[in-house]
Each structure stands twice: as structure tokens, then as C-alpha cells.
Amino acid sequence: MFEYFYHEILRKTIIGFGSLFNNIDIKHKNDSGEITGVTKVPLAYAPTQKFLARLEQVPDLNKPVQIVLPRMSFEFVSLNYDASRKVTTTQTFLSGLTSDKKQIRKTYMPVPYNMGFELNIYTKLNDDMLQIIEQILPYFQPNYTFTLDLISSIGEKRDIPVVIEGITMNDTYEGNYDTRRALIYTIRFIAKTYLFGPVSGSDISKDIIRKVSIGYVAGEKSSLATREYTYSVEPRATKNYTGNVTTYLDQNIDSNDTIFSVQDSSNIPTGSYIYVDDEEMFVDKKDGNKLIVKRGRDSTIAVSHVLGSEIKSITDSDNNLIELGDDFGFTTI
């Protein structure tokens, strides 16, 4: 039933969460308001108990606080299925075209899980704690989203929301209650990640229609046909896949303009297709660097474009990179 796979998704999410808090500083000022010192708050992956045990082993708490405190640690504490983000378990999607353009990868839709984290902040001074807290909380309203490359082999990147759930505060003492030992804040978070199953590969050349032919005979009802017709069509890309820029718009155009100037039309032949932003156009004629086009081809929408917009030609190289789900340009121009 099961097979080995390991995408390191949980590990990547833990690293991504910890990296949110690795650039926090505190500053100390004198009575004149001048900054006398800047301390970068160290961050480690460890439970609260580990740091409390370490504090118990320090005999001299009168030495400079930066040697022991401030400090932060975080810990992965829970993992729960998130039914609110559930999708059909048998649904699959295709992604990750290989370098030879023949292999695609197929995987089932991911399973949503919530990862619970605790961020523990330890300081000696209350002002140090307030500086740290104010550098964290404004980013969570109540969530902050970062992008994670969950599966590099298929280029599957997802936005991972991190939701703040609550804050608890605690003071620890040694001896009597007149001496504060450490001030500890614990912030609880939920990271909404996804877990993927195994990824399989398939041959895209078997799925893409490379050529279609239709043949029939016409004439009177007879055992002998008077004429024979054969129609043939080859797939055509309806967008630019290579990303190569041919030239740039030399003026602003609105959605109704069919004649406009480009910086250099030498590499745009008549009868070809071009791609500007998300709009496909058919080049009817050229006059120097002026193009006469038909707008909004293949169900794209004619919209306004600004001076300097990239113009990308749709060439045979793009035809070889047709994606599954493309209508192959079988519609009329």
C-alpha cells in the first residue's frame, strides 16, 4: 500500500517559521537618548524547559544580561488535520515539466494540516521584552503569509499563512519575590501547511495532440466517390512560453487601437502572433515599425497597454512547449 517518499515539507515549514524571527534587535539608550548598545536576539530551536534549566545552572546573574538574556526559542508542538481546507482526496494535478519537455509529474491534491508552534522570549528587563514584542506583533493581523517551495521537483510553491493564537506571560523568581529572575513571554502560532503524497511521472508526448487529420468523401449516393477531401491542422501555441522578449511598445495603446508603433518590428513577421501582457494579437500587416493587428485573439481580452510593455512573439519554440489544457489555437483568428 505504501511507498517511500520524503518531501521534507514539515522540516521546510519549521525552518520557514523560525526564519521569520531571526533578525530581531534590541537597543539600549542612556539618559540623553543616545544609543549605547545594540543586541541581536539569538534564536534557537528548543523547548522552554531547556532554557529554564540552563538559567538554573548560571550561578551569577549579576553579569551583563546580554550573556544570558535576552534570548528566543521556538518549538514545533502539534500537528492537526484541517478539515476546513479539505479537497477531493482522489483529485490529481499535473505539474513540473522536465527539461526534455516530454515528462510531466502527477500527484494527488495535498492534505491540509495545521502545525502548532510556540515562540518563547526570555528577557531580564521589561523594556527589552516590549521591544521584541513590538517588532513581531504588527505583522500578524492575525496572520502573516510566507511562500514555501514545498516540492522542488515539480516547482510546487504555496503560500503558508501563520496565524497568531495568543500570548501568555510569566515571571520566574529566585529567592524572595523582590528579585526578578527572568521575564518569559510565550506566543502560540498555527502554520497552515500542506502535505503531499508521492509524485509520479508520465510521458507528455502521449497526452499532447500533435496533429489532427479529418477525411471524408463527397458526391451523389453512389458506390463511386466523385471527390475526396482531407483537412489537416497542427496545434499552435496561444501564448508565449519561452519568455523571450522580441521588442517593446513605443507608445501607449488602449483596447480599441489596432495600429501602433513598436521599437523594432524586424523580428515580427506578418501573419504571426504576438503576446503583450496577457493579450494575444495577430499581426495582419507592417509599415516600418508600425503594426496593424487583430486584438484579443484566442479568447484573450483586448486591454490597454503602456509604453515600454514587453512584446513576445509566439513561434515554433512556443508550439513545442504547449501545456495540457491549451486549446492549441484551433479557433479562428
Looking at residue 22, which CATH number applies to its domain? Answer: 3.30.2000.40
Q: Is residue 325 part of a domain?
A: no
Q: What share of the chain is helix, strand, coil (3-state, %, to 5)?
A: 15, 40, 45
Same domain, 182 and 284: no
Same domain, 171 and 23: yes
Q: Is residue 330 part of a domain?
A: no
CB 165: neighbour CB atoms within 10 A?
A: 13
Q: Is residue 284 part of a domain?
A: yes
Same domain, 175 and 257: no
Same domain, 255 and 224: no
Distances in whole angstroms, Cα of residue 187 to Cα of each of 68, 80, 163:
20, 18, 11
**CB 96, CB 107: distance < 8 Å:** no
Same domain, 119 and 32: yes
Same domain, 33 and 128: yes
pLDDT per residue as tens, the chain (333 positions): 567 888 889 999 999 998 999 889 999 888 888 888 888 998 888 776 655 555 555 545 444 434 468 888 899 999 999 988 887 665 665 555 555 545 566 677 888 999 999 999 988 888 899 999 999 999 998 889 999 888 877 777 889 999 999 999 887 655 555 555 678 899 999 999 999 888 766 444 454 555 555 555 555 555 554 555 555 556 678 888 788 899 999 999 999 999 999 999 999 999 999 999 889 999 999 999 999 999 998 888 999 999 999 999 988 887 777 655 444 444 433
Same domain, 276 and 216: no
Angle, CA 205 vertex, CA 149 and CA 330 arms, to 5°: 100
Same domain, 46 and 137: yes
Same domain, 142 and 273: no
Same domain, 138 and 262: no
Q: Is residue 92 part of a domain?
A: no
Same domain, 47 and 147: yes
Range of the domain at 219: 208-233
Q: Is residue 324 part of a domain?
A: no
Q: Is residue 94 part of a domain?
A: no
Count of structural domains within the chain = 3
Same domain, 161 and 24: yes
